[in-house]
């Protein structure tokens, strides 16, 4: 786990997300507390629970992006789930425990990738020998033959390492287990049962071999990947992945306001409360059965988010409210924020579109007045129609550059300046017409 201070975490988040300092500070402290917990005596360490967070704010203000960037920064398994996708026990739909199973699967993939990287040097040597066997058919046992008989193999090895054979075509044999599609429904849910069935019968069904023709350079990389995967100890991977999930996992529960039940609710309200009661044990800390064994959720960090336009956080059941002690309200975005989003972040929209057009040899140039006009239009449309935050900028940029994007490959003039007049000409009519803006912007 990376040892970042809260200030460093906020600074890193600032590279991608504009504003929302309160939310950034809250998640930075939550991440730092994980490191602090690891330094505490083992007896007390198990007693320290993560401080889960509820982010309150309209769509498109950066709730999901903050959580996603935080997980990437922490190199932790991260999964986003929609609370509205779950149903209470007894109804058709995904059961809440599937979020933990999905998180474990992600951790397995992360650890397996890291383990494969650590085995790469051994895998390169084995892959080189396999490739030489393909290039010199029937020469496998030359090492056991008379002295000097492996001269050709050694010369070929030298040429291979120098890259002289990269363009030569070879046939590589790969294996694939053919299994019929099946899905078995059981008490564990279709996700868990389906995987176990496949593993159970994996060795019964025949392995189909397939010859693939490719360049030596591609074949070498493919063989390295195959051999590295063979060298990975899956028992070790499973142990490390379970520990990574339990100690560093982050689950982002979006749309949590959709399962908040208001006073005196009937019908669907009852079902919403049922979902909350199913989620509660997982957030509180319980043991979830997965195909890799039981996984404890006591120290998984839960970040919940919702707009809470109709419901309020206090409409959640009291037990669930108590498990989210930190509440952060995110600000709605205004014109000044849109200008910063277009220009400041590392992945700024203007920079993205300039890079995309540069692939066609076109140099996009935006004036400051043009950027201000784009931001002004986004703020205006958000105010008069549905407020979708920064996502409005994507629809506006696509509409603005539509006439350029289509003929870009054949365009003779490679310089394309975008000024305020161009923006007004393309967007004003649509933005001013409320009916049109609802459909186009």
Q: Can you give the C-alpha Rg of the chain in angstroms?
A: 28
Question: Which domains can be identified in the chain, with CATH numbers?
Answer: 6-109+242-329 (3.40.50.300), 120-231 (no CATH), 335-440 (1.10.8.60)
Spatial distance between the Cα atoms of 66 and 252, rounded to a whole number of angstroms: 10
Average pLDDT over residues 83-96: 67
Task: Using pLDDT thresholds of 50, 70 and 90, give the confidence band for residue 242.
Answer: very high
Task: Using pLDDT thresholds of 50, 70 and 90, give the confidence band for residue 296.
Answer: very high
Distant-in-sequence, close-in-space partners of 94: CB < 8 Å, separation ≥ 6: 85, 86, 87, 189, 191
Model confidence at 430: pLDDT above 80: no
pLDDT at 108: 92
Handedness of CA 44, 328, 277, 98 (dihedral sign): negative
439 vs 424, higher pLDDT? 424
Model confidence at 270: pLDDT above 60: no
Average pLDDT over residues 104-125: 88
Task: Using pLDDT thresholds of 50, 70 and 90, give the confidence band for residue 332.
Answer: confident
Average pLDDT over residues 303-327: 87
Print burial letters for 361-375: b (CB count within 10 Å at least 16), e (below 16): ebebebeeebbbbbb
pLDDT at 140: 53
Spatial distance between the Cα atoms of 163 and 264, rounded to a whole number of angstroms: 74
- Asked if residue 215 lies in contact with residue 166, where contact means CB atoms within 8 angstroms, the answer is yes
pLDDT at 266: 53
388 vs 191, higher pLDDT? 388
- Asked if residue 27 lies in contact with residue 304, where contact means CB atoms within 8 angstroms, the answer is no
DSSP state of 390: T
pLDDT at 185: 47
Model confidence at 382: pLDDT above 90: no
- Asked if residue 43 lies in contact with residue 371, where contact means CB atoms within 8 angstroms, the answer is no
What DSSP assignment string belongs to 288-343? EEETTEEEE-TT-EEEEEE--SSS-GGGS-HHHHHT--EEEEPPPP-HHHHHHHHH
Q: Give a three-class secondary structure readout of 113-178.
A: HHHHHHCHHHHHHHHHHHHHHHHCCCCCCHHHCCCCCCHHHHHHHHHHHHCCCCCCEEEEEEEEEC
The per-residue pLDDT for range 42-78, each reduced to its tens digit, is 888 888 888 899 999 888 888 888 888 888 888 889 8
Closest CA to 99 of 259, 204, 254, 271: 254
pLDDT at 313: 83
pLDDT at 119: 85
pLDDT at 88: 55
Average pLDDT over residues 89-118: 82
Q: What percent of the chain has pLDDT over 90?
A: 15
**pTM score, whole prediction:** 0.77
Average pLDDT over residues 299-312: 87
Spatial distance between the Cα atoms of 370 and 318, rounded to a whole number of angstroms: 49
Task: Using pLDDT thresholds of 50, 70 and 90, give the confidence band for residue 1.
Answer: low
pLDDT at 176: 62
pLDDT at 121: 86
Model confidence at 411: pLDDT above 80: yes
C-alpha separations of 315 from 83, 263, 310, 370 in Å: 15, 8, 10, 44
Model confidence at 104: pLDDT above 90: yes
Beta bridge partners of 253: 81, 304
Scan for tokens 């336009």, then name that residue: 309
Spatial distance between the Cα atoms of 257 and 260, rounded to a whole number of angstroms: 5
The per-residue pLDDT for range 147-193, each reduced to its tens digit, is 454 687 788 888 888 877 788 888 777 776 455 554 444 444 444 44
Beta bridge partners of 208: 176
């Amino acid at each position: 786990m990376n040892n970042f201070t809260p200030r460093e975490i906020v600074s890193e988040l600032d590279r991608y997300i504009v504003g929302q300092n309160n939310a950034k500070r809250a998640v930075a402290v939550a991440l730092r507390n994980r490191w602090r917990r690891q330094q505490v005596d083992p007896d007390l360490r198990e007693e320290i629970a993560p401080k889960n967070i509820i982010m309150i704010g309209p769509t498109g203000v950066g709730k999901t992006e903050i959580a996603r960037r935080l997980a990437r920064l922490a190199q932790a398994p991260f999964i986003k789930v929609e609370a509205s996708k779950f149903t209470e026990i007894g109804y058709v739909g995904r059961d809440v425990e599937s979020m933990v199973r999905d998180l474990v699967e992600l951790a397995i993939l992360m650890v397996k990738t890291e383990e494969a990287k650590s085995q790469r040097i051994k895998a390169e040597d084995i892959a080189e020998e396999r490739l030489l066997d393909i290039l010199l058919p029937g020469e496998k046992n030359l090492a056991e033959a008379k002295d000097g008989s492996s001269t050709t193999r050694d010369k070929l090895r030298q040429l291979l390492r120098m890259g002289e054979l990269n363009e030569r075509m070879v046939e590589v044999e790969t294996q694939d287990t053919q299994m019929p599609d099946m899905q078995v429904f059981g008490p564990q849910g279709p996700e868990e049962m389906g995987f176990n069935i496949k593993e159970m019968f994996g060795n019964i069904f025949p392995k189909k071999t397939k010859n693939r023709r490719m360049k030596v350079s591609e074949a070498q990389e493919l063989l390295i990947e195959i051999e590295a995967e063979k060298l990975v100890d899956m028992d070790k991977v499973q142990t490390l992945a379970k520990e990574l999930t339990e100690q560093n996992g982050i689950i982002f529960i979006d749309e949590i306001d959709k399962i908040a039940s208001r006073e005196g609710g009937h019908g669907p309200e009852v079902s919403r409360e049922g979902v909350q009661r199913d989620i509660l044990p997982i957030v509180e800390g319980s043991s979830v059965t997965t195909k890799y064994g039981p996984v404890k959720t006591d120290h998984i960090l839960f970040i919940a988010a919702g707009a809470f336009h109709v419901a309020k956080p206090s409409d959640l059941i009291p037990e669930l409210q108590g498990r989210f002690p930190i509440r952060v309200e995110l600000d709605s975005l205004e014109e000044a924020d849109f200008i910063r989003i277009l220009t400041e972040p590392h992945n700024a929209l203007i920079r993205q579109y300039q890079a995309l057009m540069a692939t066609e040899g076109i140099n996009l140039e935006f004036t400051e007045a043009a950027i201000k006009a784009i931001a002004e239009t986004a703020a205006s449309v958000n105010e008069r129609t549905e407020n979708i935050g920064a996502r409005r900028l994507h629809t506006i940029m696509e509409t603005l550059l539509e006439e350029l994007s289509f003929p870009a490959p054949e365009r003779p003039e490679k310089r394309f300046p975008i000024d305020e007049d161009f923006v007004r000409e393309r967007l004003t009519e649509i933005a001013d017409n409320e009916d049109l803006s609802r459909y186009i912007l």
